[in-house]
Structure 1
Amino acid sequence: MKSERSTDNRDIKSRSQSLDRGLQVLEMLAASDTELGVRDLARELGIAKSIVQRLLNTLVDRAFIEQEPQSRKYRIGSKSFEIGAGFTRSGSLAEICLPELEKMAKAHQLNCYLGILRDSEALYLATIQGSGPIAIQVSPGDRIALHTTALGKALLLDMSDAEIRNLLTASRLTRRTASTKVSVPALIAEIRKAEKHGYTLSLGENIIGIYSFGAPIRDKTGRIVAAISGALPQAMMQRKALPQLGEAVAAIAERISQRLGASSRNLAASSRAPAAAKFVQAAGRA
């Protein structure tokens, strides 16, 4: 695990080295599945343990990280969570989306999600627990694969074949279930079909027995800035009802997009083909 370093050409003298190192410590702790010690962090950063210890002391004092009493190692603290939560609260995107997601969860017994593209993954900004039997296993700030999820696929809808290929091949396409598509050409073909209907599908591709529906959110320029999705167990619905639920998720995404200033000509609905059922059938066979 290596901390990502800045690659810009700005003069290092124009930035705070201590702050840069402190932020790298936070990034490393956030990315780690286990608590890290002074020696671990010093080795990764390539700096003296005494410097790392001063950084850790400051971060602990400000509650950005916490020290585990027994192991004396460190993990992310409550203040880091508050800062991250502030990101989702501060923008008009979250303010507009959350009430709509809550309505969608209630009306269709869906677990609902809002996410954005970050590097070669989707980053969750919000999750809403529906009234159905699925328990949400992800939280705001978690990342998820693009190729296995309806939300991830929705974020790819406007990209060219080359852009999708470059993005998906930048990371290994893992097979989450027997239904997961790990062929980039097959995924591109599915996304091209999804463009015509305004929504994407994941039919047991991320979690066995879970169907999800995704749709893009556009800003006033028509650019995709985020995506929403809804998920429910396969057993809760008949396959012939899939197109109607996909259309419902797409309609909610369009309503959010309009509130962000997107015009009707920029929305997926304006070019949606009527044969949505054929799209569902094709996705299931792919």
Structure 2
Amino acid sequence: MPGPIQSLERAAAILRLLAGGERRLGLSDVAAALGLAKGTAHGILRTLQQEGFVEQDPDSGKYQLGAELLRLGQSYLDVHELRARALVWADDLARASNETVYLGVLHQHGVLIVHHVFRPDDTRQVLEVGSMQPLHSTALGKVLLAHDPVARAELDEQEREAFTSRTLTDLLDIDEEAALTRERGWAASVEETWPGVASVAALIKDRRRNPVGAVAVNGPVERLCEAGTVRPELVVQVREAARSISRDLGAPRF
């Protein structure tokens, strides 16, 4: 088993040093505290600064933690809080719909599943937490595309695979469906990613009305749909679950 990478260990030590004690430290302070040569400490600090993890005061030349660490930390806290707030409502939605429930967030050009409630029956099921779903062909992804400009920008940068004959890959068609999603407040995917599978999803907002994720019911077309469209009662259940999670996150009523 390979051992730890020394440069990464030293970078982590510098970040921990800057996180405690004095708010700002000079190069000599950092090098002396960690027993590093000044050239080594300066190289690591410069790299951390380029990545936004460290900032240097232009007047004193001293270093402090950078804004990128705050952004990453806030991202972790947001996802952790989202999942914690959604647990009860996702369980309730699974029981009401008698189907699988997913909670997803935007991550690396796709939708990351951060919570998965099994369909409440005795069939064998596989936990999907940590898996990725495409943006353009799933109900979770369509909701995020409709409300999150970052998601829409990321779609421009990737190839849109046609998983089935129903998959929309043209950006004009995708944008048209996104407008419909915003208008009606929910998105559906019927055999657009997996044959025989349908899903319906709604947006989750935080206290600042920002889109932070989506919740979806997922299951076989024959159970979720009537005449090729998602059953209205499932739409109501999913939207109410999304509103309840959003309210728990501090969002105003919508």
- The residue correspondences of 1:52-201 to structure 2 (distance < 5 A) are 91-131=80-120, 136-137=125-126, 139-159=128-148, 166-201=153-188
Deviations 1:12-52 (A, max 9, x none): xxxx7234999xxxxxxxxxxxxxxxxxxxxxxxxxxxxxx
Normalising by structure 2, what TM-score? Answer: 0.65
Gaps of 5+ in 1: 1-15, 23-86, 268-286
- Contact kept, 8 Å, 1:88 with 1:94, in 2: the verdict is no
Show the counterpart of 1:56.
none
Comparing 249-258 and 231-240, the one that deviates more = 231-240
- Contact kept, 8 Å, 2:166 with 2:192, in 1: the verdict is yes
Show the counterpart of 2:212.
225
CA 1:181–1:251 in 2, change beyond 3 Å: closer, same or farther?
Answer: same
CA 1:214–1:134 in 2, change beyond 3 Å: closer, same or farther?
Answer: farther
Show the counterpart of 2:244.
255
- State the alpha-carbon separation in 2 of the partners of residues 195 and 182 from structure 1: 19
- Contact kept, 8 Å, 2:106 with 2:151, in 1: the verdict is no
- State the alpha-carbon separation in 2 of the partners of residues 20 and 106 from structure 1: 49
CA 1:166–1:260 in 2, change beyond 3 Å: closer, same or farther?
Answer: closer
CA 1:136–1:172 in 2, change beyond 3 Å: closer, same or farther?
Answer: farther
- Contact kept, 8 Å, 2:167 with 2:192, in 1: the verdict is yes
- State the alpha-carbon separation in 2 of the partners of residues 196 and 18 from structure 1: 48
SS at match of 1:155: helix
- State the alpha-carbon separation in 2 of the partners of residues 217 and 148 from structure 1: 19
Deviations 1:120-172 (A, max 9, x none): 11111011111369865552111111111101111122245xx6653212111
CA 1:188–1:132 in 2, change beyond 3 Å: closer, same or farther?
Answer: farther
- Contact kept, 8 Å, 1:134 with 1:232, in 2: the verdict is no
CA 1:133–1:180 in 2, change beyond 3 Å: closer, same or farther?
Answer: farther
- State the alpha-carbon separation in 1 of the partners of residues 251 and 158 from structure 2: 32
Find 2:7's aligned residue among 17, 27, 31: 17
Identity of aligned residues (%): 24
Amino acid at match of 1:17: S
- State the alpha-carbon separation in 2 of the partners of residues 20 and 189 from structure 1: 50
CA 1:147–1:223 in 2, change beyond 3 Å: closer, same or farther?
Answer: same
- State the alpha-carbon separation in 2 of the partners of residues 229 and 189 from structure 1: 21
Measured on the aligned residues, the alpha-carbon RMSD in Å equals 2.9
- State the alpha-carbon separation in 1 of the partners of residues 8 and 151 from structure 2: 37
Aligned length: 185
Gaps of 5+ in 2: 1-5, 13-75
Higher Rg of the two aligned structures: 2
